[in-house]
Amino acid sequence: MYVAVKGGETAIDNAHRLLADRRRGNRDVAELGLDHIMEQLSQAVDRVMSEGALYDRELAALAIKQARGDMIEAIFLARAYRTTLPRFGYTNPVDTAAMQVERRISACFKDLPGGQLLGPTFDYTHRLLDPGLAEGATPETPETRAPEQARMMRVSDFLGQEGLLEPAPDGSAKPVPDDIARTPMTYPLDRDARLQALARGDEGFLLSMAYSTQRGYARSHPFAGEIRIGEVELELEVPELDFAAPLGRIQVTECQMVNQFQGSAKAPPQFTRGYGLVFGQAERKAMAMSLVDRSLRATELGEDLVAPAQDEEFVIAHADNVQATGFVEHLKLPHYVDFQSELDLVRRLRAEAAAGTGEAREAAE
Amino acid sequence: MSMVDDALRTDSAAIASEMARRDRMAVLARADGKQLRALWTGLSLDPAFEMIRGPETGLATVRGRISGDGAPFNFGDVTVTRASVRLADGSVGHAYRLGRDQGAARLCAVIDAIVHDDRIAERIDRTLVQPLRQAQQDRDARRMAETAATKVDFFTLVRGED
């Protein structure tokens, strides 16, 4: 028998009204505009776009404001919004070699063509809190210098020329990739579906998984071949035009991780690689993604399966923080009837155990 | 002149005009909505048009390539707004833009339609598209120069004396 329990409507309404009040906070303090969030908390915006799998800076800023800065709640809002929109199609694959680069570094080659461009990075800061910023400092205008070249060759392109690096998987075998947003995932996944799941995966989870591979759970001896951040053009094939419609640009972060070589009787040793591609400026996540992409290729590369980061179903099924939070947080919803039946069962078992002990004693006597 | 030459000439003219249209659409798609509206208002054009479709906002799924140049994969969605219009003379225009600015998408579709008229096209390109393109190129150039200033200049430390 299912018994519906009603009640709490007024309490819920008042709780949400209270939430709106607390979200606004002290009215003497200026209200946060979406432009403030977009301009001054841009990395938070990037994280919501990446894990919400929705590139729209203004919507991500709204989600952050509405969620009071609770990132997973904001990501949940972005995901929910996506489901309300029609789909126009799939863009042509972005060309990261044609990126307008804002940062580009390689830990493998000091003198790579185009050079090491640090861009706006936290690296090499002393991680000391800055009291000047608390008071509201006006930053200096950025220094400028004549750029040397517009197009930046990917590190993987010139390593690949010598055959030292495994080639990227060719698209001819599977020109149309899987879309986990439209079809439920069934394991084992192809690498394209895995990358889609990782691209929206939780940064913290992927970071921990990546870290586990460095600490010895499925070691892959990685080098950051190249990390680049910048804007790429998007275009969409549409029936009403004879050419792909230009849509504008988005910012992405790409990481090419170069890993320990492997060789066999048939193939000479060469470096393998893992790949990370993330919306916005999201270097930590792109690096973690590329490490986990590589560790999940264990079966394909004939490696022993010894660690959690090599277990595709374990990693992919738990990387999505919206699904994870849904299941963990559902525990706080009323389970009164479930618990009542458990309670009855435990009482009955305890009573039986007590009676059983009594019977056993009688039999012994 | 042979018919083949004629056909080639028409073909290359068509390709050139198509490239010009694509280039214009790319500038309009990237244009800041506020600047676009201001420049349009300055033109004092007010063509009658009807909407064929939209403006409507939806999603496009962005594709990347494994390792940058390999097989494609889907990696996330973007919001896109599109619009199609028809002018009184029958000219049709289309527009696609990232984001959700429906007014800007409609305006871009109107611009795409009225440039079928060569005289207006010249004026639009000169007084609307060119300033937008310039603003975009200036922004790119500034950002590239700012990035270039963060390039690492390595030098070798000489140890000992000799």
Question: Residue A121 in 3-state DSSP?
Answer: coil
Q: For residue A154, what are the CA distances in angstroms to A160, A228, B147, B153?
A: 10, 9, 17, 20
Could you tell me which residues come within 8 angstroms of residue A238 by beta carbon, excluding any fewer than 6 positions away?
A: A88, A89, A244, A245, B94, B96
Q: Do A43 and A109 have their domain in common?
A: no
Q: Mind telling me how many Å the CA of B155 is from chain A's nearest CA?
A: 11
Q: Tell which residue, A285, A88, A260, A230, has the closest CA to residue B77.
A: A88
Cβ proximity of A192 and B63 under 8 Å: no
Burial class (CB in 10 A: 0-12, 13-18, 19+), B81: buried
Q: Looking at chain B, which residue has its C-alpha nearest residue A86?
A: B58
Q: Please report, as a single letter, which amino acid is at residue A142.
A: P
Q: Do A16 and A106 have their domain in common?
A: no
Domain annotation covers residue A353 = no
Domain annotation covers residue A112 = yes
Q: Which of residues 154-193 of A touch B (CB under 8 A)?
A: 154, 156-157, 167-171, 173-181, 191-193
Q: Looking at chain A, which residue has its C-alpha nearest residue B61?
A: A90
Q: Do A193 and A261 have their domain in common?
A: yes
Q: How far apart are CA A60 and CA A66, in angstroms?
A: 10
Q: Which of residues 22-81 of B touch A (CB under 8 A)?
A: 22, 25-26, 29-30, 56-80
pLDDT at B154 > cutoff 80: no
ipTM of the shown complex: 0.90
Q: Tell which residue, A200, A255, A228, A256, has the closest CA to residue A47.
A: A200
Integer-rounded Cα Rg, in Å, for chain A is: 26
Q: How far apart are CA B109 and CA A100, in angstroms?
A: 27
Bridge partner residues of B141 (DSSP):
none
pLDDT digits (tens, 9 = 90+) for A25-79: 999 999 999 999 999 999 999 999 999 999 999 999 999 999 999 999 999 999 9
Q: How far apart are CA A299 and CA A305, in angstroms?
A: 7
Q: Please report, as a single letter, which amino acid is at residue B116.
A: H
Q: Do A161 and A289 have their domain in common?
A: yes
Domain annotation covers residue A337 = no
Q: Which pair of structure tokens corresponds to residue A312?
A: 């595709």
Which band of pLDDT confidence, cut at 50, 70 and 90, is reported for residue A4?
Answer: low
Could you tell me which residues come within 8 angstroms of residue A101 by beta carbon, excluding any fewer than 6 positions away?
A: A114, A117, A119, A152, A228, A229, A230, B147
β-pairing, A100-105 vs A87-90, is unpaired
Phi, psi of B53, rounded to the nearest 5 degrees: -150, 140
* A209 CB neighbour count, 10 Å cutoff: 29
Q: Do A78 and A209 have their domain in common?
A: no
Contact B148 A144 (CB under 8 A): yes
pLDDT digits (tens, 9 = 90+) for B27-67: 999 999 999 999 999 988 889 999 999 899 999 999 999 99
Taking the model in full, what pTM does it have? 0.91
Contacts of B29 in chain A (CB under 8 A): 245-248
Going through A138-202 in order, the beta strands assigned E by DSSP cover none
Q: Do A161 and A298 have their domain in common?
A: yes
pLDDT of residue A360: 54
Q: Do A239 and A293 have their domain in common?
A: yes
Number of domains in chain A: 2
Q: For residue A46, what are the CA distances in angstroms to A74, A171, A198, A280?
A: 12, 29, 15, 5
Contacts of A238 in chain B (CB under 8 A): 94, 96
Structural domain span for residue A61 = 10-82
Interface with B, mutate which of A49, A88, A249 (most B CBs under 10 A): A88
Q: Do A53 and A155 have their domain in common?
A: no
Which residue reads 């009658």 in tokens? Answer: B48
Domain annotation covers residue A338 = no
Q: Do A226 and A264 have their domain in common?
A: yes
Q: Which pair of structure tokens corresponds to residue B124?
A: 């639009």
